[in-house]
Structure 1
Amino acid sequence: MCAIVQRCCALDSQAFRVCEGKGFELMIDTVLEIAKKHKGAPFPARELLPSATTVSTSVTNQAKALRKISVLKLKKILRTRGVCISVDGWTEDYTKTKFVQFIIHYIQDCILKEELITISEFDATKSQTAGAVRDFVFKTLADICISEEECADVTYITDAAATMITAFRVPNRTILERVSCACHMLNTCLQNSVNRKPNSQFKLSDERVPISTLIQSCKSLVTYCKQAYLSRRLSVAPVQAVETRWNSNLDMLVSIMRLYPELKDILQGRDERNRLPGPVDFLRAVVELLRPFKTATLALESSSMPTIHLVVPFFIKIRTHVSQPISEEFRYLLQYSALVAYQKQLKKVCDAKLVVDELHKAAVFLNPAMKGLLMYPTAEQSAIINGVQKMCGTTSFSFSSEHRSLPFSSVKKIAIAFRSFPFSFSFFWKMWIWFPVYRTVLCSAV
């Protein structure tokens, strides 16, 4: 059997791992069942196998059938539980075609789940105003038989682009709940910290140019390693930065830093030492400055557990980090002034871009482990509590700084106020009353 699989992969130019796939296994099981029905009578494989055209047509028909089942399930979820829909777009690099995907998030049996609803092409040649974006969103949902009325209680998660923010607050149309993706906000901060566009409010000053130069030098080195076949001489291949991938500049800098001794020896042997960015301590200083952004991103991008209550503490940690002085161990570097200036740039960008919603603050309060709101001053604690009181439509409960608790009726009202987030009331009640040590209380990964 092994020899047959090897020959199959060789003849069809397939990867060897194809034999480990569930689809391949299902196909073999099906063939064995057919052979059993024919009681071992020989017949040509070509008579059994369908043509590519038949397979293509069949896939389309099966997709339509599965879509009908999926839509019924989605409609039930929209009717019976809190839901978030994340709307995320990207551009295919070769044809510059824009695509938008819709993913639904909900909680079932106390487990956060997500499912891809659809992926649709966005016509970049048409108007991209807020109204056009909103029309596109609901036309795409209408194409799979989900109306705008059925999504009235849905909370949408999008990037923080001005068009996206305005799209859900178009004048003379229903205002819809929308939350900015926290990971996208972090990525926007990193992008703007090295922004050299002349009209940008965060334009990189000449004093901070060494940071931008370092990143460009690392990108050039990674490209050169691939083109000159140097990667095969390294213990691991260096990581190239990709604009659409979160924290990719940091990943690239970390990979160069780890490979620095190997790269130094190879380039020195080729008399190309000038290609090596550095010094290495300059790399390390920039990495230490950016690392908390990746830590926060990894924690907040989880799709298996709620994270909305973690947005505020991580944003506070990052603001604190970019406000602290650069370590004295890097003071001897010629680029020390550039590091200080770059840190100020990061602080400026973070202060402007890391904006938390009232919903984030309420989620912190509703998380048992953080209900003391100790990360906020006393005056702001009171404001957050007042906001939660408005959400649950009551002012009858009181709070003490030592222990904050809510009666059942108030918790139920808060659960209703948060109906557009993916958790059931029973889940919320269990987490609040019976499992106070849990750090996850409600909502979806934001």
Structure 2
Amino acid sequence: MMRHLRSTHPAILQCAEDGNIPPVPRPATDTAGPSKQGRQRELDEALVDMVVKDLQPFTIVEDEGFMAFVNKLDPSYVLPSRKALKTMVTERYNISKEKTMEDLKKADFVSLTADMWSSINMDGYLGVTCHYITPEAKLATVVLGVRRFYQTHTAQHLMEAKALLMAEWGITTKVQCMVTDNASNMILSAQLLNLRHVPCFAHNLNLIVKKALDQTPLINEIRQKARKIVGLFRSSCKAKDKLVEMQGLMGRPALKLMQEVDTRWNSTYDMLQRLYEQREPVGAALSNLNSDTAPLTSFEYNIIQESLSLLQPFKLATTELSEEQRVSASKLIPLYRMLQHKLSQKKGQSAQESTAQLGTHLQEGLHSRCGGYESFRALALATLLDPRFKNVGFGNPAKAQEAEKQITLECASLMRSNTATPEPQSTSGPSSSSSTTTSTTETQDSLWKLFDSRIHVPRRYTVPQQMPQ
């Protein structure tokens, strides 16, 4: 009743709240009932879309400002209650889930990615995402579930939780591989499910850089000093205001300093880069503050500059993988080779002993964690079949030839088993697929420069040029 009064008779409700109850008007005949109901359903659907897309809470329909805004837009629309909105969102989820399950029935194979994390309140969560190819040859992704994980994080419990999700979505027999981080319980849970395990490349890059930074004492000391400086300007209003004042006097943009996060190495890169860019305003602000926080020296800023140059290829690779909306497995071998090349190139330009040491640790970590990618059958075949890379993406010609033999054998086997089946018509794909690789990095210190140069060289021989090992 109150909901009806608020939306349809706000004047009467206001009078009632003020103690002045007007005479009840005679109800008018509603000649536009069906159209009004249609408009109500249309706006209800739009409200559900907004809540789902923008991750809004169900209580938004009880917010006074939102209610007034909606009433101004359409006084005839009756907002649903919080419970009714929750029911509507649940119904939308069930409809979407049924449609997705129908799509998954048409998929021959799927792959999964899984991750575990803890919230701010230290509640454990397990997230599983499914990836598959539609009959229209398009990559599709669906989140199977993000579940609160109450049990201990053992491989057995993880396996059981993943098996339940796979059974719920009807894909138990279709899963070909599972991508996770390198945690032992995650790897073992995939083995218990008899699934091929593929380590997450972005997570490997994170481990490589974190370990290399920790192994370089001087750079580690500079990081600690940098964290203390950033902490001062992010925790003290006086220090922050002084920095903004110095930035204004020097004609610099009023940018905040960025603090490092232990679990993400790229936050270390962002912290050092911002601090280096704002080194002059930061130094001036520190000199005007009564603080025991020591500023970085010019020598230490030189170390930071060379370190950023070494870490930039890893930053570019991490960003590219994070933005990837297509199949990324075929990129891993070429990315590994490009990182090798850029790292070797930039290490040779290092003038300081500590940054040369950092470069050595990065090379060792990259080889240790990613050196076996070309021997990984799934990754090798994916690279070979990707029209952007084919066998040019390999650094070892023998591994490229081995992948070609495997593809040839599989094709021959398929041809023998499908001799009575007519060949499907070829579907047109992107004609300039190599541009997909280069478009995102042309304006940067290109990670793909060497690869692009090999692709654009006219070929006079049947054996393609390989990437450096």
TM-score by length of 2: 0.66
Does residue 168 of structure 1 match 2:184?
Answer: no
Q: Give 1:435's aligned amino acid.
A: S
For 1:92 and 1:102, the matched residues in 2 are separated by 16
**Cross-structure match for 2:180:** 158
**Cross-structure match for 2:161:** 136
Higher alpha-carbon deviation: 81-90 or 260-269: 81-90
Judged with a 3 Å threshold, the aligned counterparts in structure 2 of structure 1 residues 60 and 139 are, in CA distance, closer, same or farther, namely farther
Q: Give 2:182's aligned amino acid.
A: A
What are the Cα deviations for residues 380-426 of structure 1, in whole angstroms up to 9, with x where unaligned?
221121232344454999xxxxxxxxxx99xx99xxxxxxxxxxx98
Pairing partner for 1:231 from 227, 235, 240: 240
8 A Cα contact 1:152 1:176, kept in partner: no
For 2:280 and 2:122, the matched residues in 1 are separated by 39
- Say which one has the larger Rg: 2
8 A Cα contact 1:264 1:273, kept in partner: no
**Cross-structure match for 2:93:** 67
For 1:268 and 1:27, the matched residues in 2 are separated by 52
Does residue 209 of structure 1 match 2:235?
Answer: no
Pairing partner for 2:357 from 330, 336, 341: 341
What are the Cα deviations for residues 41-92 of structure 1, in whole angstroms up to 9, with x where unaligned?
xxxxxxx666xxx51x335433432332233123222221343332122221
Q: Give 2:115's aligned amino acid.
A: D
Does residue 435 of structure 1 match 2:431?
Answer: yes
How far is the alpha carbon of 1:101 from its aligned partner? 1.9
Judged with a 3 Å threshold, the aligned counterparts in structure 2 of structure 1 residues 65 and 341 are, in CA distance, closer, same or farther, namely same
**Cross-structure match for 1:277:** 296
Three-state SS of the structure 2 residue aligned to 1:117 is strand
How far is the alpha carbon of 1:241 from its aligned partner? 1.3
Pairing partner for 2:339 from 298, 303, 318: 318
8 A Cα contact 1:368 1:439, kept in partner: no
8 A Cα contact 1:309 1:440, kept in partner: no
Pairing partner for 1:222 from 222, 226, 230: 230
Pairing partner for 1:35 from 60, 67, 75: 75
For 1:191 and 1:160, the matched residues in 2 are separated by 14
Three-state SS of the structure 1 residue aligned to 2:392 is coil
Does residue 258 of structure 1 match 2:298?
Answer: no
Higher alpha-carbon deviation: 388-397 or 270-279: 388-397
**Cross-structure match for 1:248:** 267
For 1:392 and 1:29, the matched residues in 2 are separated by 62
For 2:146 and 2:325, the matched residues in 1 are separated by 21
TM-score by length of 1: 0.69
Three-state SS of the structure 1 residue aligned to 2:144 is strand
How far is the alpha carbon of 1:32 from its aligned partner? 6.4
Q: Which has the higher contact order (CA 8 A, sep 6+)?
A: 1
**Cross-structure match for 1:422:** none
Q: Give 2:117's aligned amino acid.
A: W
Matches within 5 A, 1:383-402: 383-392=402-411, 394=413
How far is the alpha carbon of 1:180 from its aligned partner? 2.2
Q: Give 1:191's aligned amino acid.
A: K
How far is the alpha carbon of 1:210 from its aligned partner? 0.8
**Cross-structure match for 1:200:** none
Higher alpha-carbon deviation: 235-244 or 317-326: 317-326
What are the Cα deviations for residues 250-304 of structure 1, in whole angstroms up to 9, with x where unaligned?
0111110111011011112226585223421111011111111110111122243
Does residue 373 of structure 1 match 2:392?
Answer: yes
Structure 1 vs Structure 2: percent identity of aligned residues?
18
Does residue 101 of structure 1 match 2:109?
Answer: no
How many residues end up aligned between the 2 structures? 357
8 A Cα contact 1:83 1:105, kept in partner: yes
**Cross-structure match for 2:149:** 122
For 2:118 and 2:296, the matched residues in 1 are separated by 31
Judged with a 3 Å threshold, the aligned counterparts in structure 2 of structure 1 residues 226 and 344 are, in CA distance, closer, same or farther, namely same
For 2:396 and 2:138, the matched residues in 1 are separated by 34
Q: Give 1:35's aligned amino acid.
A: P
8 A Cα contact 1:183 1:297, kept in partner: yes
Does residue 292 of structure 1 match 2:313?
Answer: yes
Q: Give 2:279's aligned amino acid.
A: Y
Three-state SS of the structure 2 residue aligned to 1:178 is strand
What are the Cα deviations for residues 227-249 of structure 1, in whole angstroms up to 9, with x where unaligned?
12233433200111123345111
Three-state SS of the structure 2 residue aligned to 1:247 is helix
What are the Cα deviations for residues 204-240 of structure 1, in whole angstroms up to 9, with x where unaligned?
3xxx211111112211211111112233433200111
How far is the alpha carbon of 1:152 from its aligned partner? 2.7
For 2:114 and 2:180, the matched residues in 1 are separated by 5
Name the Cα RMSD after superposition. Answer: 3.7
For 1:88 and 1:67, the matched residues in 2 are separated by 22
8 A Cα contact 1:111 1:304, kept in partner: no
Judged with a 3 Å threshold, the aligned counterparts in structure 2 of structure 1 residues 210 and 65 are, in CA distance, closer, same or farther, namely same
**Cross-structure match for 1:12:** none
What are the Cα deviations for residues 299-331 of structure 1, in whole angstroms up to 9, with x where unaligned?
122243332222111111222333446355x53
Runs of 4+ with deviation above 6 angstroms: 21-30
Judged with a 3 Å threshold, the aligned counterparts in structure 2 of structure 1 residues 318 and 390 are, in CA distance, closer, same or farther, namely same
Structure 1: runs of 5 or more not aligned: 1-17, 38-47, 196-203, 398-407, 414-424, 442-446
Structure 2: runs of 5 or more not aligned: 1-50, 245-253, 438-469
Judged with a 3 Å threshold, the aligned counterparts in structure 2 of structure 1 residues 110 and 277 are, in CA distance, closer, same or farther, namely farther
8 A Cα contact 2:111 2:130, kept in partner: yes
8 A Cα contact 2:309 2:346, kept in partner: no
8 A Cα contact 2:286 2:295, kept in partner: yes
For 2:225 and 2:353, the matched residues in 1 are separated by 19
Three-state SS of the structure 2 residue aligned to 1:369 is coil
Three-state SS of the structure 2 residue aligned to 1:368 is coil
Q: Give 1:260's aligned amino acid.
A: R
Three-state SS of the structure 1 residue aligned to 2:428 is helix
For 1:303 and 1:58, the matched residues in 2 are separated by 37
Judged with a 3 Å threshold, the aligned counterparts in structure 2 of structure 1 residues 267 and 365 are, in CA distance, closer, same or farther, namely same
